[in-house]
Amino acid sequence: MSNHETWTLSSDRLFSPEPSQRAVARALFERVAQLPIVSPHGHVDPSLFSDPEARFGSPADLLIIPDHYVFRMLYSQGLPLEDLGVRRRDGGQVETDHRKIWQRFADHFYLFRGTPSGLWLKHELISVFGVKLPLNSRNAQVIYDQIEDCLRRPEFRPRALFERFRIEVLCTTDAASDPLNHHRAIRASGWNGDIRPTFRPDSVTDILRPDWRQQLEALAHAADMDIISFGSFLEALRRRRAAFRQLGATATDHGVTLPHTEVLSSADAEAIFQRALRGVATPEDGVRFSGHMLIEMARMSLEDGMVMQIHAGVYRNHNPLLWERFGPDKGADIPLPCDFVRGLKPLLDLYGNERNLTIVLFTMDETTYARELAPLAGHYPALRLGPPWWFHDSFNGMRRYFDQVMETAGLYNTAGFNDDTRAFPSIPARHDVWRRASCNWLAGLVVRGLVTEEEAAEMAVDMAVGLARKTYRLEKNI
Amino acid sequence: MSNHETWTLSSDRLFSPEPSQRAVARALFERVAQLPIVSPHGHVDPSLFSDPEARFGSPADLLIIPDHYVFRMLYSQGLPLEDLGVRRRDGGQVETDHRKIWQRFADHFYLFRGTPSGLWLKHELISVFGVKLPLNSRNAQVIYDQIEDCLRRPEFRPRALFERFRIEVLCTTDAASDPLNHHRAIRASGWNGDIRPTFRPDSVTDILRPDWRQQLEALAHAADMDIISFGSFLEALRRRRAAFRQLGATATDHGVTLPHTEVLSSADAEAIFQRALRGVATPEDGVRFSGHMLIEMARMSLEDGMVMQIHAGVYRNHNPLLWERFGPDKGADIPLPCDFVRGLKPLLDLYGNERNLTIVLFTMDETTYARELAPLAGHYPALRLGPPWWFHDSFNGMRRYFDQVMETAGLYNTAGFNDDTRAFPSIPARHDVWRRASCNWLAGLVVRGLVTEEEAAEMAVDMAVGLARKTYRLEKNI
Amino acid sequence: MSNHETWTLSSDRLFSPEPSQRAVARALFERVAQLPIVSPHGHVDPSLFSDPEARFGSPADLLIIPDHYVFRMLYSQGLPLEDLGVRRRDGGQVETDHRKIWQRFADHFYLFRGTPSGLWLKHELISVFGVKLPLNSRNAQVIYDQIEDCLRRPEFRPRALFERFRIEVLCTTDAASDPLNHHRAIRASGWNGDIRPTFRPDSVTDILRPDWRQQLEALAHAADMDIISFGSFLEALRRRRAAFRQLGATATDHGVTLPHTEVLSSADAEAIFQRALRGVATPEDGVRFSGHMLIEMARMSLEDGMVMQIHAGVYRNHNPLLWERFGPDKGADIPLPCDFVRGLKPLLDLYGNERNLTIVLFTMDETTYARELAPLAGHYPALRLGPPWWFHDSFNGMRRYFDQVMETAGLYNTAGFNDDTRAFPSIPARHDVWRRASCNWLAGLVVRGLVTEEEAAEMAVDMAVGLARKTYRLEKNI
């Protein structure tokens, strides 16, 4: 912890310590380390790119205040979110001195030992910002200075980093009602970064949301039509999908509490929709409607060719005190057990055999990897498995995924990698972890005599970029 | 991928790359590699052996058309089953050119990279058929020629392979109503291959099956009696068990959707049975009856000494389109979560403490390995745990099983290996994977100082043959 | 197995065989191997220490008859518990010749190959009793002689072993109604072994227990007051907590079938309590009351600062025949699936954000490690995760815990180690396994470039003693 200690990233990090496997992993990694980044799903704010002059703010703005992976860990150890500058809904006082926030973060950086957030942050600080001292209490302010200095320079503007990171394509996630002005501005600007929206209609398909009516009005406004019936609701969604596609979207995304699907008759769907409009929908209505909307979305995907992503199994906002005080996305979303076998059956009965439809499944219930998801994806033509999601987007999370999914589903029924992040400068770190974990897994197959090095090299490229391009229909860019 | 590339099986395949563990694994494997094959549970067709002149058909007949492990993977990537020669129920047209089927398989053989099917197929092609070129698009037809040529020769007849594979005993799986003519013919032929039937009464214990009445009539016919009551139903089963035992059967097998058991009063059992006869049994009747029949079967096992296997937790025929078009066993069976703790309690309350009863449990819900199955088997004298089943019959599936079962249940509460296959020529490959995985696991215990090499050597033999012989009461053959 | 074979413990046992990881693991272990033992949760009988002259009895009394880990394995292979000297409730005859019991154990010691019990027993025999021959049929009696001889000597009295084991603090588990006379006697004796009680009120919070009324009377007696209402019940518990604290208790413990919590109104709580007093409480009452009592206990913990442990998810006494004949704790307790996300929500809604409350969660449903427990502990300030419990208190159980918990929860949201044993002489062996497993895990992080050796050294000490001291508020002793 002395000041003359240098902070370094091992060039062999994450690889097996066993020399024969490490050598193969390193050789495979060398083939993929410099490939461009394909990012088919994530939450980066497109406004970072619509204005060529956009900046990231302070180091705390960049790395702490918006990142629930980071502040949830500090909160779990007793640091109030107010002390980390997280905005309160009631406008109550929170820390505004970003150097103090940064110091608190540095004082507790040891909490991230052995965590993916710790690894991403270290990677980012060293390779994006050139930090050379370990982040700790003593070095906090000098590192703050260094990052702040970087962030003032033009080569640290979002567009410059996008190019430096060699991002081939970046897909954002956007509400169905989003007018997509930032996406339009990016295209209009003549800058050639390939940034695409993703159609996410959750706020209008969940009729139980307290703000559903406002969301519906926003949708109607964006679609430039009245929504007075289930039929007109579907038409509005269809129009918005078309608008998204015109701006390059190739995918939709659906975040659901549980992977429930259900076919409603037109009459039932209309009746529930009308109850929702009158504010009298029941919880059961909400579950049924949401289940039916996945069916409708699949049907539209068959029509318009958009890849359908389902992110299932999260208890959102588990902590009501935090929710009241700070709102959503504050580290209090907890995974739930999922039943894909029965839950998706109505959807798969209708569309599981469609070869022109792609449904990508994500879960944090790892018990379904080997029991449900791999057997389903290893059978139904329409299914692909998304990479490890959220908490499991880590070295061990990836290892468990490879272990439990690949033998049954086969690599070619998986969808490559998603970084799924809102923390733009962490993107290279996240793809680096995936590529290293992939190459290490493949090296394990090679040294156990299961695939040849030549096969592994092809598979490594597929895992790094090929499967993501193919699954998300982004191959036209090559 | 060049034509002069040789396809090889590493002699150290599946072993840890770490040299000290690999050396121990190799030494252990050398002790068990040449042991005979004990196959106490599987689905090989006995007709292959009743006629000394039986043949396997074409390479596609042998390796693709009947093997749902193989064609499900091809189907998942968009190949119609018709193009693979899978027979349609409606007699609709399917591919009949077996060379074309084989070519499609070879074109997509890369899909099996890193899968157990890929490893078994490679093992089989190389060591059974002497294939020397990698299976791919270019080599497809020359390999077809080579296999076809083999299959014409007498040394590739089923009986010849049985002897070449050094199979000590092979148990098939047979319906309770099966007249066992092929088994009788095998015995009558004077050939000394030890092939035994296994009593599987699922089709008559599941009163909800659409064809239950026909199945019941077949049972009555086979038992040579009328079945007009629950009592006569039990008597017919008892007679059939006796007939199976006369042909060498030492075990029964019960495939159930969930591991539910339940004790019905005689009156309730009779009432449900009568409703079933009248075609008015309810779904609840079906569940209760099936749960009660496991109790009855355990009671009969106590009487007649047959080992009772329970294979629990499968959603059969999940894909109705495929089911309608092609029937069962088409790769659309998906595992379900199981509750053995509560589900088996009525059975265990009655018979769990019986030292003369052996119940072997199988599941694909790996979450029950450490939580339920190992603690249950590590306590109840009547219980043993079957090896990893179906999708988990793979190197990693075995590794997870050893990891999660052995510390709590102890090796001696497990049942050794089952190949559980209908693909006869894959049997040596499957036992090879088990033996290698076992020896590698034991080597891990040795190099971590947990057992001595001498202990590991004994355990390796037990895992290869001893536990299977003992659990299934096949020791008399030694 | 020859008599001149020496039984040894590898000094590198449990470490990875890979030389670079093993070297780091060994170096880390050298730093923690000699640290004192902190045992914040377990079931050692305090009477062993209240009488300075206390003895352990025979080798069978010490190692077999009271240890359900040991005799459940023998029972599972068909040995009657009577033959192992386990006392029958009906006073029926059981084996009284302890040499015969020991011989049976030795004859079957191979059953423990690769199990944690096997490792603990071997460790204990070698390092506590100096046994040099492997335990097997032939060596059984000479080893019996050797242990018996040891147990007669003063240096094998419990207090002497306590000191030899370098136990810094040992917490027992005591019923809420326990007068704590042994704890008082220990304190009064002037001996300076730090032994503390833990407050466990399960027998009075579970109103469905057949002996609940007697338990309640015992509580009233211990608290020296009448219990006639829910209010007086709470007051009695409060008094007993104070009495426990006066004897050094820093923690409570709550063993529940499932992790259900529920807030009852005062009126409902009182009504259920009155029904329980009248013997007419329903099963639903029992579940609700037990769920509410966890809320009350958390509230009291906030007041008095006692750490609250919740051990959730066990089907107790699954085997009724064994229960009738031998009573509880006979190896027939089987884990159950748990739902912490919904089950703990009422508790966490009220107290999850309290920084001055510590709730330590334990489960044997490992599926909740990554899905529920790590995300919950990585968010709520009040939560910490206990170490792997019961069946999972093994090398692989620990490995799975590190793998599935640490990346998401972070090390500092875990509670260090609990040996949780009633087998006093096994305590060093159990801490040895934890320390080796910890150091091996940390070494894996070092050789994969995830933490530095210096960080790992700090973490190793935290895992060995620091986290247990801090979580259980035992730091004042340092």
pLDDT digits (tens, 9 = 90+) for C312-362: 999 999 999 999 999 999 999 999 999 999 999 999 999 999 999 999 999
Q: Which of C367, C380, C407 sits opposite A114 (nearest CB)?
A: C407
Q: Rounded distance, CA A37 to CA A33, Å?
A: 10
Which residue does chain C place closest to A338, by CA atoms?
Answer: C371
CB contact under 8 A, A319 and C448: no
CB B343 within 8 A of CB B261: yes
Q: Which of C370, C375, C410 sits opposite A366 (nearest CB)?
A: C370
Domain B19-53+166-477 has CATH 3.10.50.40: no
CB contact under 8 A, A322 and C353: yes
Classify A44 as helix, strand or coil. coil
CB contact under 8 A, A18 and B14: no
How many B×C Cβ pairs under 8 Å?
Answer: 131
Which residue does chain A place closest to C377, by CA atoms?
Answer: A76
* In C61-156, beta strands by DSSP E: none
Give the pLDDT mean for B427-435: 98
Residue B478 has pLDDT above 60, yes or no: no
CB contact under 8 A, A348 and B119: no
For residue A403, list chain B residues with Cβ-Cβ distance below 8 A: 396, 400
CB contact under 8 A, C319 and B451: no
CB B18 within 8 A of CB C18: yes
**Disruptive mutation site among A450, A451, A471 for chain B (greatest number of B CBs within 10 Å):** A450
Give the pLDDT mean for B152-168: 97
For residue C446, list chain A residues with Cβ-Cβ distance below 8 A: none
Q: Which of C345, C372, C412 sits opposite A77 (nearest CB)?
A: C412
CB contact under 8 A, B408 and C396: no
Which residue does chain C place closest to B443, by CA atoms?
Answer: C17
CB contact under 8 A, A410 and B319: no
Q: Which of C78, C116, C334 sits opposite B355 (nearest CB)?
A: C78
Q: Which of C371, C379, C412 sits opposite A337 (nearest CB)?
A: C371
Secondary structure (H, E, C), chain B: CCCCCCCCCCCCCCCCCCHHHHHHHHHHHHHHCCCCEEECCCCCCCHHHHCCCCCCCCHHHHHCCCCHHHHHHHHHCCCCHHHHCCCCCCCCCCCCCHHHHHHHHHHCHHHHCCCHHHHHHHHHHHHHCCCCCCCCCCCHHHHHHHHHHHHHCHHHCHHHHHHHCCEEEEECCEECCCCCHHHHHHHHCCCCCCEECCEECHHHHCCCCCCHHHHHHHHHHHHCCCCCCHHHHHHHHHHHHHHHHHCCCCEEEEEECCCCCCCCCHHHHHHHHHHHHCCCCCHHHHHHHHHHHHHHHHHHHHHHCCEEEEEECEECCCCHHHHHHHCCCCCCCEECCCCHHHHCHHHHHHHCCCCCCCEEEEECCCHHHHHHHHHHHCCCCCEEECCCCHHHCCHHHHHHHHHHHHHHHCHHHECCCCCCCCCHHHHHHHHHHHHHHHHHHHHHHHHCCCCCHHHHHHHHHHHHHHHHHHHCCCHHHC
Residue A464 structure tokens: 């790094």
In tens, the pLDDT along B439-471 reads 999 999 999 999 999 999 999 999 999 999 999
How many Cβ atoms sit within 10 Å of the Cβ of residue A96?
Answer: 9
Q: Which of B16, B352, B450 sits opposite C119 (nearest CB)?
A: B450
Residue C246 structure tokens: 């006066």
Q: How far is the first Cα of chain B from the last one, in angstroms, to the nearest whole number?
A: 46
> Which region, left, alpha or beta, applies to residue B7 given φ > 0 means left and ψ of -120 to 50 means alpha?
beta
Q: Rounded distance, CA B95 to CA B91, Å?
A: 12
C334-335 vs C314-315, strand pairing mode: antiparallel
Q: What is the CATH number of domain A56-156?
A: 1.10.2020.10
Residue C71 structure tokens: 């005799």
Name the pLDDT band for B477 (thresholds 50, 70, 90). very low
CB contact under 8 A, A371 and B76: no
Task: Decide whether A19-55+157-477 matches A56-156 in CATH topology.
Answer: no
* In C140-288, beta strands by DSSP E: 167-171, 174-175, 195-196, 199-200, 251-256
Percent of chain A with pLDDT over 90: 98
In tens, the pLDDT along A403-437 reads 999 999 999 999 999 999 999 999 999 999 999 99
Q: Residue C431: name the closest of C231, C163, C219, C167 by CA.
A: C167
Q: Rounded distance, CA B139 to CA B5, Å?
A: 11
Tell me the average confidence (pLDDT) per consecutive run of 10 residues in chain A, 478 residues long: 74 98 98 98 97 95 96 98 98 97 98 98 98 98 98 97 98 98 97 97 97 97 98 98 98 97 98 98 98 98 98 97 96 97 98 98 98 98 98 97 98 98 97 98 98 98 98 79
| CA torsion, ordered B365, B367, B370, B374, to nearest 10 deg | -20
CB contact under 8 A, B372 and C332: no
B4 φ, ψ (degrees, to nearest 5)? -90, 0
CB contact under 8 A, C319 and B380: yes
Cβ neighbours of residue B93 closer than 8 Å, sequence gap 6 or more: B82
How many A×C Cβ pairs under 8 Å?
Answer: 131
- Report the helix count and the strand count for chain A, using DSSP H and E: 23, 11
Residue C22 structure tokens: 């093993």
Q: Residue C68: name the closest of C37, C46, C43, C95 by CA.
A: C43
CB contact under 8 A, B375 and C336: no
In tens, the pLDDT along A173-184 reads 999 999 999 999
Q: Rounded distance, CA B114 to CA A443, Å?
A: 11
Classify C185 as helix, strand or coil. helix
In tens, the pLDDT along C48-102 reads 999 999 999 999 999 999 999 999 999 999 999 999 999 999 999 999 999 999 9
Residue C25 C-alpha, separation from nearest chain B C-alpha, in angstroms: 12
Instruction: Classify domain C19-54+162-477 at the CATH superfamily level.
Output: Metal-dependent hydrolases (3.20.20.140)
Q: Rounded distance, CA B437 to CA B393, Å?
A: 11
Q: Rounded distance, CA B180 to CA B186, Å?
A: 10
Residue B138 structure tokens: 């270019």
State the complex-level ipTM: 0.97
A partners (3+ CB pairs within 8 A) are B, C
In tens, the pLDDT along A112-145 reads 999 999 999 999 999 999 999 999 999 999 999 9
Give the pLDDT mean for B352-366: 98
> Which region, left, alpha or beta, applies to residue C423 given φ > 0 means left and ψ of -120 to 50 means alpha?
beta
For residue A15, list chain C residues with Cβ-Cβ distance below 8 A: 448
What type of residue sits at position C153? R
For residue C75, list chain B residues with Cβ-Cβ distance below 8 A: 379, 381
Residue A206 C-alpha, separation from nearest chain B C-alpha, in angstroms: 28
pLDDT attached to residue B5? 79
Measure Cα distances from A317 to A206, B321, C379 in Å: 16, 40, 11
CB contact under 8 A, B14 and A355: no
Q: Rounded distance, CA C191 to CA C49, Å?
A: 9
Measure Cα distances from A258 to A284, A339, A364, B365 in Å: 13, 8, 11, 20
Percent of chain C with pLDDT over 90: 98
For residue A396, list chain C residues with Cβ-Cβ distance below 8 A: 403-404, 407
Q: Rounded distance, CA A450 to CA A446, Å?
A: 6
pLDDT attached to residue A4? 58
pLDDT attached to residue A476? 64
For residue C447, list chain A residues with Cβ-Cβ distance below 8 A: 17
CB C89 within 8 A of CB C327: yes
Residue B159 C-alpha, separation from nearest chain A C-alpha, in angstroms: 30
Burial profile A430-446: b = 16 or more Cβ within 10 angstroms, e = fewer: bbbbbbbbbbbbbbbbb
Tell me the average confidence (pLDDT) per consecutive run of 10 residues in chain C, 478 residues long: 74 98 98 98 97 95 96 98 98 97 98 98 98 98 98 97 98 98 97 97 97 97 98 98 98 97 98 98 98 98 98 97 96 97 98 98 98 98 98 97 98 98 97 98 98 98 98 79
pLDDT attached to residue C257? 95
Residue B14 C-alpha, separation from nearest chain A C-alpha, in angstroms: 5
pLDDT attached to residue C472? 98
Instruction: Classify domain C55-156 at the CATH superfamily level.
Output: uronate isomerase, domain 2, chain A (1.10.2020.10)
Residue A221 C-alpha, separation from nearest chain C C-alpha, in angstroms: 38
Residue B160, CB-side half-sphere exposure with 13 Å CA sphere: 13
Domain A19-55+157-477 has CATH 3.20.20.140: yes
Which residue does chain A place closest to B363, by CA atoms?
Answer: A371
CB contact under 8 A, C115 and B18: no
Domain ranges of chain B: 19-53+166-477, 55-156
Residue B149 C-alpha, separation from nearest chain C C-alpha, in angstroms: 47
Q: Which of B14, B366, B396 sits opposite A371 (nearest CB)?
A: B366
Residue C328 C-alpha, separation from nearest chain A C-alpha, in angstroms: 32
**Disruptive mutation site among C18, C26, C73, C76 for chain B (greatest number of B CBs within 10 Å):** C76
CB A318 within 8 A of CB A332: yes
Residue B83 has pLDDT above 90, yes or no: yes
Continuous segment of H or E residues that includes residue A39 = strand A37-39
Q: Rounded distance, CA B333 to CA B311, Å?
A: 13
CB A390 within 8 A of CB A354: no
Q: Rounded distance, CA B463 to CA B170, Å?
A: 17
Sign of the dihedral defined by the CA atoms of residues C314, C318, C324, C327, in that order: negative
CB C197 within 8 A of CB C190: no
Alpha-carbon A377 to chain mean position: 21
Residue B276 structure tokens: 């079933």
Location of structure tokens 């769907």: A269
Strand partners, C289: none
**Disruptive mutation site among A2, A13, A81, A334 for chain C (greatest number of C CBs within 10 Å):** A334
pLDDT attached to residue A5? 80
